[in-house]
Structure 1
Amino acid sequence: MDIKNILLAMLNGAYDSIRGIGTLIYMDKELDNRTRQRLSPSRQSSTIRRRESDLTKEATPVRTLKAHEESKVLKRTIQCSVLNGGIFLASIMLFDYGILPFLNFVLQMIFGENTSTSGTIWSWTRPFLVCIFQAIWVMPLFLLSKCVNCLWFQDIADNAYRYSRGRPQIAEGLSKRIADSIFSIVVQTLFLVQAMLIDYIPIFLIGRIFSCIHLCMLYSLYTFEYKWYNMRWELHRRLTFIETNWPYFIGFGLPMTILTQVSDSWIINGCIFSILFPLFIVSGNEASPVTHTVNFPLSLFSPVIAITNTILNRSIDAANAHMQANAKRR
């Protein structure tokens, strides 16, 4: 095992995760120019035909572009920042560090700072206010942001792929795409649970380091999955590629892992993730992973793949048995 090559691959991954962000500045303009060139009619040698097509040249391509294919990568990225940072995260910070301290100050002013009455009342009032705030504001907005983010992330990923590689290759068969998506969601969820459980290993730093490695690979999967899905890579191929070239993908996911661990609140970390993730989607489409740096895979996904296969197979068997039972009754 060459430690030098592993470290270089990790550094390349970390650099690629940030390097592609600069593409946002000119990506939309370049994509729109390409679309205008594709939509504009070819130049004709005849003067009469050029005059007859003047209106089409001036109006139709621009109108068609605006109506259908105008790139919105930068716009979607800003919208993610406004929704997740300017609204969601800012409201949580305002409640935690503004409203709650102010209400506590008011109680102390009413009952006195040195009395135990204000402390007792606040010990009952604060959890109640937190629960009300989370039920009325945080959870509904969290669910809304997740739904909206999925649409915006997909839009950003498709445009970023179109910029770097051309038109996405749509997988054949709706049922196959649905099955791949369900399998991917289950694997990612179980892998996140696996990362959280490993964090509780009672050995100094061992649990935290391996949990960090899990998150780095998971965030890399999140990022590159849009690109690989558009390339029609199946889930097993995507996971095998990450496990085989794990030094690069650990490095690629490391900045996101560090930035999303700044708070003890998973909601705040989720907001930070949603703000930064569009930038990493663009970086993932621009990146060229460093391969063949190690001779052995880091098979961290194998346990969750086995569990997922067991769950889905049993679900399918149960569904088939239920259908057969209903058929016999009829």
Structure 2
Amino acid sequence: MDLKGCALAFVHGMWDSVKGGVTMWYIDKELNSRQIQRLSPPRTNSLRGKQTDNSRETTPMRPLKEHEESKAGKRILHMGFLPGLGFILSSIFGENSFVGSFVWSWMKPLLTYFFQTLWVIPLFLLSKVVNSLWFQDIANSAYKYSRGRPQFIQSISILLADCILSIILQTLFLIQTFAVSYIPIHMLGQFLYTIHMCMLYSLYAFEYKWFNMAWELHKRLTYIETNWPYFIGFGLPLAIVTNLSDSWIFSGAIFAIFFPLFIISANQANPITGVCDYPLHLFSPVIALSNLVFVRSVNPNQNVTRARSASRR
């Protein structure tokens, strides 16, 4: 066996494999140049040139094709380089790699919690609109039965601001409720989540009654925070039945079934007050946040004006 010949054949084969990768970048250019040379008229002597000039008058010259766009390099790039790059990146950053496992260990729960919370907010806003239309008749009938004619807020501007601020506060409080459920201590997170839901459901049910009594939002929130033992107990049954399933559709159906009954119960109820000297300020963070947003949006130059007046003094 010729070892030298085998070695040369090996090297030559390896070179041909590398040369093919280099050739692909100018193969289309070479083919285009050959096609141009084949279609272009050949060089002749003067006599033949004259005959050619005469024939040109009778026979139109064949138009040359434009340079075709390079295809071989792009196809090799699409079919070879990009899948190889995808394989390398998936090996480094994929789910089964070390980097992928490390990144997804904290990224996956974060994105899951974020999207679970994010898609609930539009559903909550839609339910607020639907509930105000569907359940308002039930609330008005229950209020007329127990207390007589409703008393609404006289000022249209105050009424509109009260409704908008109420929706914003309840939306922020719902986000706060989901946030406390993600506390690493599972039992503590579920306990705080249940307390928040009890207060929120009580506010839902009693808000129809207090709205017909012309109570403004700050009075409603102060009343429910001051008498929190009663309202936690009032909202606990609805919080329990809506948490029986992890499905939001099933929980929403349960809420829609039982919530009208809680509206009637709230209109008939006489809350026990004054039993606790320490109010439970669960709504204070969202109240402070909403006030900050409203103050800056309504009068953004207020702080600048105060600073300028103080400097002039």
Say whether 1:303 aligns with 2:285: yes
Say whether 1:273 aligns with 2:252: no
Per the TM alignment, residue 152 of structure 1 is displaced from its structure 2 partner at its CA by 1.7
**The structure with more radius of gyration:** 2
Per the TM alignment, residue 318 of structure 1 is displaced from its structure 2 partner at its CA by 5.2
Tell me the distance in 2 between the aligned counterparts of 1:187 and 1:145. 15
Residue matched to 1:192 = 174
Give the AA of the match of 1:245.
Answer: N
Say whether 1:224 aligns with 2:206: yes
Give the TM-score normalised by the residue count of structure 2: 0.55
Query: Is there any run of 5+ residues in structure 1 with no aligned partner, and where?
Result: 1-140, 321-330
Say whether 1:164 aligns with 2:166: no
Residue matched to 2:221 = 239
Give the AA of the match of 2:268.
Answer: E
The verdict on how the C-alpha distance between 1:219 and 1:146 changes in structure 2, with shifts beyond 3 A counting, is closer
Tell me the distance in 2 between the aligned counterparts of 1:306 and 1:169. 29
Counting matched residue pairs gives: 182
The verdict on how the C-alpha distance between 1:314 and 1:236 changes in structure 2, with shifts beyond 3 A counting, is same
1:1-330 equivalences in 2 (<5 Å)? 147-317=129-299
Give the AA of the match of 2:240.
Answer: I
SS in 1 for 2:135: helix
Q: Which has the higher helix share?
A: 1
Larger RCO: 1 or 2 (CA < 8 Å, sep 6+)? 1
The verdict on how the C-alpha distance between 1:148 and 1:207 changes in structure 2, with shifts beyond 3 A counting, is closer
The verdict on how the C-alpha distance between 1:319 and 1:188 changes in structure 2, with shifts beyond 3 A counting, is farther
C-alpha RMSD over aligned residues: 2.4
Residue matched to 1:87 = none
Query: Is there any run of 5+ residues in structure 2 with no aligned partner, and where?
Result: 1-122, 303-313
Per the TM alignment, residue 173 of structure 1 is displaced from its structure 2 partner at its CA by 1.2
Tell me the distance in 1 between the aligned counterparts of 2:154 and 2:187. 46
Moved more, 241-250 or 310-319: 310-319
Tell me the distance in 2 between the aligned counterparts of 1:247 and 1:142. 26
Which 4+ residue blocks in structure 1 deviate beyond 3 angstroms? 141-149
Tell me the distance in 2 between the aligned counterparts of 1:215 and 1:204. 16
CA deviation digits over 1:14-44, x for unaligned, max 9? xxxxxxxxxxxxxxxxxxxxxxxxxxxxxxx
The verdict on how the C-alpha distance between 1:275 and 1:159 changes in structure 2, with shifts beyond 3 A counting, is same
CA deviation digits over 1:286-320, x for unaligned, max 9? 00001111110001100000001111122213599
SS in 1 for 2:193: helix
SS in 1 for 2:203: helix
Tell me the distance in 2 between the aligned counterparts of 1:143 and 1:301. 18
Tell me the distance in 2 between the aligned counterparts of 1:178 and 1:147. 14
Per the TM alignment, residue 144 of structure 1 is displaced from its structure 2 partner at its CA by 7.9
